[in-house]
Structure 1
Amino acid sequence: MIPNIPNIFRRWNDIISQWAQHQLGVFLICLALFAGFSILYFPKVIQKRMDNSWTSNDKYMIDFVNRKIEHPLVAMLGNDSREHYAKRELRITPYLIGKVFHLNAIRLFYLQVLLLPFFLLLFFNLVRRLSGGDAPIAFWSTACILFTYVGHSFVYDTLFYDSYAFVFLLIAFYYYDRVWSVLALVLAFFVDERSLFPALNISLLYLFQTGIPLGKWSVILKDFLWKNKGTHYLLFSYFLYAIVRYYLYSNYHLNTPVGKHAGVQLGFAFLHGYKLPYALFSALKWAIILPLIAMVYFVKHRIWTVACFYFGTYLASFLAATAVDDVTRSLTFCFPIIFVLFLLIHRLKEQENARILICLLFLANFLTPTYTLLMHLERISPLNWIF
């Protein structure tokens, strides 16, 4: 007997809609996603602690992070031979969190793992809000992003703590029309400066509040600059970040080195050759189709101002990602570019088609392997903690 897939799909969406009527139901949905994901992708650090298989590089990073937690504003490396790590001197948000809550490097990672359900809860609520209250779209989108490197980073990135930046970015986007977004953005920037570029999408979310921006470019640009609270909050966060960076550089000699010696140079990642497409794809995997659809819509309807800004944001993120060795993690920072499409879905009343599309993207992400590229290409496989 052939199952009636459309009927099963509709019934499932109805169940999700019923559960999502209250925040407790949303929390249980996200907790179930987290539990299922954790069974498939057991945290690699726990496996390492069980068999004590830390590499010399891991041990070096653990020692570095622990020293930074103890003294967040002290430059540890200086002219050390491991100059590549010097760019982590200024990424002080995780070290300050460790300092405040008395966490060492490993415990800071465990906290990162526990932040994943909170990330999923925020993601679900934000997508539902942007899509006009559509809980099934929010569910499939949350499941879809979970099986990209965005989700993997919470349980895989042992000592980089990029997921803290993802959480703070998501908080900023959730409060994109409130001043609270400024603090979240600055904290994200001080986890990793690559957060600067995807944050630009906050301005677009606010711009779409009153509808799809149509008309002359001068009118759109005027609204974008002068009537857009998102732009104002974003510029203020950039200003605060620049002031704090200058203060830390002037008083504590903390900076982000650039150049070939530091592993930060435009086009650096292209040295990986054929491995690069695997890494670039793994950042968002098939979810990359979502911003492409939004881009096609802007071009098709000749909304050139928004199209140029949207494309420029992704291009800047791409250039930053390919300027370093760990290109997968770098491009993962651009995950907020998908949020614009949910506003279009709501405005164009395309909820039903969007549910089907995003469900298919989730299935494709679930079945497609994820790769990370840090010096060499490595496949992140499900259940590898068993086999």
Structure 2
Amino acid sequence: MDSILVTGNGPLNGQIPIAGAKNACLTLMPATLLSEEPLTLTNAPRLSDIKTMTALLQSLGAEVSSLQDGQVIAMSSHNLTSQTADYDIVRKMRASNLVLGPLLARFGQAVVSLPGGCAIGARPMDLHVEGLEALGAEIELKDGYLHARAPGGLKGAVHEMRFASVGATENIVMAATLAKGTTVLKNAAREPEIVDLVECLRKMGAQISGEGSSTIEIQGVDRLHGATHQVVTDRIELGTYMLAPAICGGEVELLGGRMALVESFAAKLDAAGVSVAETQNGLKVARKNGRVQAVDVVTEPFPGFPTDLQAQMMALMCTAEGTSVLEERIFENRFMHAPELVRMGANIEVHGGTATVTGVEALKGAPVMATDLRASVSLILAGLAAEGETTVSRVYHLDRGYEHVVRKLEGVGAKIERIKGE
């Protein structure tokens, strides 16, 4: 099994290109199921999760081709052979459940296994089911599979979600594009990935308004056509690499970055003593003066502080001056990286959904183990700032969400290498 060896090596300087958003691309790919005509995505990230979604779509009979070194994905669902998403593929990745809405909308039926993914909480499907049932679907759970039917087709409705779930918003919006009549989705999630999905669906002929707000209105149409769409910049990869010069010192420009994607996160960095400035090509990040200051963080749905940047922010707070409190309100079990940071000399106390971090002068390199996708990169960031060598094992998590992480960090002066396992 591969590992990553990181040696603390001082300030970082240079440029890092930011890829297309994993979470956006994984949402856009199932949209091909809504139409018989081709859907082409550009600026696609080259990640193992994208390969998993490719395999899932192909198992349904879709044609999926990876072009231009994986940065273009060409898809066609003109000749689907199945409406069943099998457990063997779905268990690998949470986003697999996003085929449910499109299949149900186009074919009036779908059988989708309950999904898998990172071990960061149950993340149930109830909000997805409630929304689709509001559109007239009949859904039954049998033997670990959701059996969904809409014999007379889906019908528009007014539905208010109990929680602003990103995945449920995406599933319901896709399903509603082919429903009869108008759907009004209230308490919808507002993430940039949803805005990106709506922009793509609109290119395909969908009639949608209100994306980016808590109320989205969808006027159903009879059919959708083909389109070409560029995947939005990955705000989580952007935020992660913004933390590299914050934790190590130096100045790094993140190519393709936009402040609108990370405003709440950038505000916390500013309060900690890290400057973030827009440039012609992206965002430039530099530590202002010496040691960063402790700041408190509460994870919230967009536009609040992203849960997917909590682990990385904790790594920064480990060497901050003062004590910070990080409260996780989105997922349970999302402090599994804390014990690994403690192995590196961090002072962290976890009580339920709250972690109290008292900054230390310096972290010490140590062998650590990644527990999930974001935890893995938080340990790499900590290793960049630590004295000596840090070996991060179980980095297969990393490949799900970060392309060429070693190459990108090497490009700004980090001492990092991937060690091939036996």
Greater percentage in strand = 2
Q: TM-score range by the shorter chain?
A: 0.3 to 0.5
Greater percentage in helix = 1
TM-score normalised according to structure 2 size: 0.32
TM-score normalised according to structure 1 size: 0.34
